[in-house]
Amino acid sequence: MLTKASAPKILVVDDDTSIRITLNQALTKAGMNVRAEKNGAEGYKAFCEEAPDLVVSDIQMPEMNGYELSSAIRSSDHGALTPFLMMTGTEGQESIELSYDAGATDFISKPINYPLLVNRVRYILRAHSTFLEWTKSQNQLENLGRVLDNSSNEIFFINAESGLINSANKAALRNLGYTLSELKNFTLASLLVDSTREKGNFTQACQNLRAGSSLKQHFTITLRRQDSSTYPVEGDMYSSQELPEISLVCIFEDITERLFNERRMRHLAYYDSLTNLPNRELFFQNFKNALLQAERYGNMVGLLFVDLDNFKHVNDMLGHKAGDELLGKIADVLRSCIRNSDYIGTHMEGSLARFGGDEFAVLLSRLNSTEEAGQVADRILEAVSRPNIIREREILITPSIGIVVSPEHGSDPDTLLQRADVAMYAAKKSGKKNYQYYCRKMHSDGLYRMELERDLKLAIKKGEFKVNYQPKFDIETGMLSGFEALLRWSRNDIGVSPEIFIPLAEESNLILDIGNWVIDEVCRQIKEWHDAGVSKALHVAVNFSARQFSDPGLVDYIRACFNKYEISASCFQVELTESAFMSSTSLISEILVELSNLGCSIALDDFGTGYSSLSYLNRFPLDVLKIDKSFVSKINTDNNNSIVAAIVALSYELDLQVVAEGVETEEQLSFLRELKVKYLQGYLWGAAAIPEDLEPLLASHSQKVMEAHSPVSLSM
């Protein structure tokens, strides 16, 4: 309780649900108390209610944008000094200026590197608390010296009229290498390195403070030491009416190390270490931004997916080191192809990426026609196919290239990437060393499926599967009630959607092994959670394919897993879709009865998409009914409200618990609340995540359970 009360309060404002959730998790994990809101208007309301210690906000949001929010907070009763961190996205350089004009303290650009953002938030809070401590002791001048000299921040007092430094604390003198009497001959501006921009900003900021148009100005500047070496500092300058002779106070922190670490962290997170090219993640962000821009300005974006032919032979014949060398050379060749291209657009830095292995991607952000993508592909084919000399041997390698162009081939980045992959496989099939544009009929093409199936067979052995867990909540109390286990396949580091690989696994019967792996893994995770003190009342729902029920050993296998991990069947929920129920009813119903007798609960998934017949529902030992997300997403459109209402009424009739799936908006939530739907699952309150990222959620759940069972009220 105590730590909770003293934890810094952070207000996060962003209309992007996934950013809100991830930020919330990252900051909570760092020990902060987070409230997240989805637009400026709600953010402002939350600000007035909570008086947070810091605000992190997006710029473009409905109702009230980030600039407006910042200005509103600045002119509110308690918001004159609250640190405000703006997340700038695709808006470009001017957004940074506009953010500062609106009173933001600092900015961080998207894509958000979460560890970096947490660091930045910690730093801003620290600098701000030094300032607050200083203001507190302004009236007690005897305390001032102690505060100043104990501070690791560099602090300067400046005479506003002459601009001369009036005093500085030990940290400042130590780092600059001057004595106080030497330093008194300088203005702070004369210690700046000669950058016109920095000096200009600095002078402007001083003027703003003197004129009283602002109480505080934030900056990053570079200072020159006595020995002429330089170092970057970041901090704030405040105007002060309290101290005679001093009218400006600067509190700076030497950020040499932080900048170095940030650069390193950024590099590690977003670049491939072998080729120094952006990795898949950074590329994906750039691709997403390019698509957004293209939508706004109505132009075309192309993506080339480049895969080297028979690269495995190089590794096998010459060893991995030589293989790596070759990849480095190919990266250089691709770089030079792109440098000469007119279609790359402004983000030269992110337009070429290595996706891992021998796969590269090229982003063409300024296409005038679909054919132009082919022209770049031609150039790449020609350049990459030239002989390479590696360790005095001539090596010939060729690429196969898949091309997609948006909007023609889709507008969603995930879909486009998958389609580029499909097109690349088609290029391999038509003899390699060529390129292919995506077209619909490629899906029915056997080769892509064959390769996918081949890799799927190896996926368990290669450890490419992972289970993510999506939380489910009690709508009325907001309490966590359990999770749904969702399988993830990272195929050679590239995620394949379960919508693609699950049907394939079902057709090839691989689903039996995969399904058993999921059951074992989920039981293992449940045991791990129990060992860590997580409530045993929480359950995990596991998706089953109808095929798995044709395995005569299924029930024994599940029972053996419960025994192996010493968990109770009540923690395990079996989820089966409506169509699976219908596939071969008699056998399925027998197995479900066995599982139900064992103590598992049974959920009917995707309800509403199949037959939805009352008569067959009676035949199964059902406990839970999940309303399919296609209905939830259409709440308040068409006639779907009455369908959802009918499903809920039906479930009451049959004494079933109802879970609404895919809940994304407050509007959907309030409708479901009205209908008294008991449980919610959806991005609004939580997307699927790896267990590590669920720790804050589980910890707060344990806390709530403890409070609910404690005889003495802990809340104050």
Chain residues that interact with ligand C2E, rule: CB under 6 A: 470, 486-487, 497-499, 502, 518, 543-545, 605-606, 629, 662-664, 681-683, 688
Residue 496 contact among Ca ion, ligand C2E, none, beta carbon within 5 to 8 Å by kind: none
Residue 106 contact among Ca ion, ligand C2E, none, beta carbon within 5 to 8 Å by kind: none
Residue 36 contact among Ca ion, ligand C2E, none, beta carbon within 5 to 8 Å by kind: none
Nearer to Ca ion, 307 or 661 (CB): 661
Amino acid at 180: L
Residue 428 contact among ligand C2E, Ca ion, none, beta carbon within 5 to 8 Å by kind: none
Closest listed residue to residue 661, CA positions, set 653, 652, 647? 647
CB atoms near residue 382 (< 10 Å): 10
Q: Which of 561, 605, 671, 684 binds Ca ion (CB under 5 A)?
A: 605
Q: Is 522 exposed, middle or buried (0-12, 13-18, 19+ CB in 10 A)?
A: buried
Q: Which of 20, 57, 606, 631 binds Ca ion (CB under 5 A)?
A: 606
Q: How far is the CB of 27 from ligand C2E (least distance, A)?
A: 22
**The two structure tokens encoding residue 383:** 């350049």
Amino acid at 173: L
Nearer to Ca ion, 290 or 680 (CB): 680
Q: Is 324 exposed, middle or buried (0-12, 13-18, 19+ CB in 10 A)?
A: middle
Nearer to ligand C2E, 545 or 651 (CB): 545
Name the strand (E) or helix (H) holding 114. helix 114-137
Q: Do residues 633 and 662 make contact, with C-beta atoms less than 8 angstroms apart?
A: yes
CA distance 466 to 490: 8
Q: How far is the CB of 606 from Ca ion (least distance, A)?
A: 4
Nearer to ligand C2E, 128 or 539 (CB): 539
Nearer to Ca ion, 283 or 607 (CB): 607
Binding positions for Ca ion, 617-676, rule CB under 5 A = 661
Helix (H, G, I), strand (E, B), or coil: what is residue 484?
strand
Tell me the CB-side half-sphere exposure of residue 252, using CA atoms within 13 A.
27
682 alpha carbon, distance to own chain's centre: 16
CA distance 332 to 97: 36
Does residue 578 bind Ca ion (CB under 5 A)?
A: no
Q: Which of 282, 575, 588, 607 binds Ca ion (CB under 5 A)?
A: 575
CA distance 554 to 570: 17
Amino acid at 420: A
CA distance 710 to 716: 14
By CB under 5 A, which span of 8-16, 463-471, 568-576, 615-623 interacts with Ca ion?
Answer: 568-576
Q: How far is the CB of 350 from ligand C2E (least distance, A)?
A: 27
Binding positions for Ca ion, 322-341, rule CB under 5 A = none
Closest listed residue to residue 405, CA positions, set 495, 298, 304? 304
**The two structure tokens encoding residue 660:** 């609404």
Residue 69 contact among Ca ion, ligand C2E, none, beta carbon within 5 to 8 Å by kind: none
By CB under 5 A, which span of 183-191, 292-300, 355-363, 599-607 interacts with Ca ion?
Answer: 599-607
Residue 636 contact among Ca ion, ligand C2E, none, beta carbon within 5 to 8 Å by kind: none
Nearer to Ca ion, 14 or 605 (CB): 605
Q: How far is the CB of 24 from ligand C2E (least distance, A)?
A: 16
By CB under 5 A, which span of 20-28, 118-126, 322-330, 570-578 interacts with Ca ion?
Answer: 570-578
Nearer to ligand C2E, 107 or 473 (CB): 473
Nearer to ligand C2E, 620 or 683 (CB): 683
Amino acid at 10: I
Pairing mode, strands 657-660 and 624-627: parallel
Q: How far is the CB of 632 from ligand C2E (least distance, A)?
A: 8
Q: How far is the CB of 470 from ligand C2E (least distance, A)?
A: 6
Q: How far is the CB of 575 from Ca ion (least distance, A)?
A: 5
Q: Which residue shows structure tokens 């029930």?
A: 555
CA distance 570 to 589: 19
Contacting residues for 235 by C-beta, under 8 A, at least 6 apart: 127, 153, 154, 218, 219, 250, 251, 252, 253
**The two structure tokens encoding residue 432:** 């390699």
Q: Which of 240, 247, 543, 651 binds Ca ion (CB under 5 A)?
A: 543
Q: How far is the CB of 584 from Ca ion (least distance, A)?
A: 20
Residues that bind Ca ion (CB under 5 A): 543, 575, 605-606, 661
